[in-house]
Copies of this chain bind each other. A is one copy, B any other.
């Protein structure tokens, strides 16, 4: 249960409805998911986040699947249940293979363990790795 109301189209302010419409058009779907309906309580935030997401997750030098893998990795590190479910779904929709998913999990496991070991022993950066 959210701590705010998830606004349907009738409850949302005009600015929020405009964003809903752009989400529908951009994603070619009728469905507007809960994240946006929660943010609609704060239309300025909704608009700013949607436009930022549209730009950053859109075409670039990184492959769309890779972008989702990075988004998912951050969400796992932040332990965000909502974001883990949705971006695992989005990554699959954009073509993530089971092997790519497993490789991502392996790297997260390897890196998070390695990070803690370096921190635990306060290992100093080698001079040659300083820019």
Q: How far is the CB of A96 from chain B (nearest CB, A)?
A: 10
User: Which A residues from 99 to 121 make CB contacts under 8 A with B?
Assistant: 99-100, 102-121
- Which residues of the other chain, B, contact A28 by a CB distance below 8 angstroms? none
Known: A78-B77, A116-B78, A124-B1. Is A111-B49 also a contact (CB below 8 A)?
no
Q: How far is the CB of A61 from chain B (nearest CB, A)?
A: 5
- Which residues of the other chain, B, contact A12 by a CB distance below 8 angstroms? none
- Which residues of the other chain, B, contact A61 by a CB distance below 8 angstroms? 97, 99-100, 103
Extra pairs beyond A1-B130, A109-B117 (4, CB < 8 Å): A70-B107, A73-B77, A82-B124, A86-B125
Return the chain B residue nearest A100 by Cβ. Answer: B61
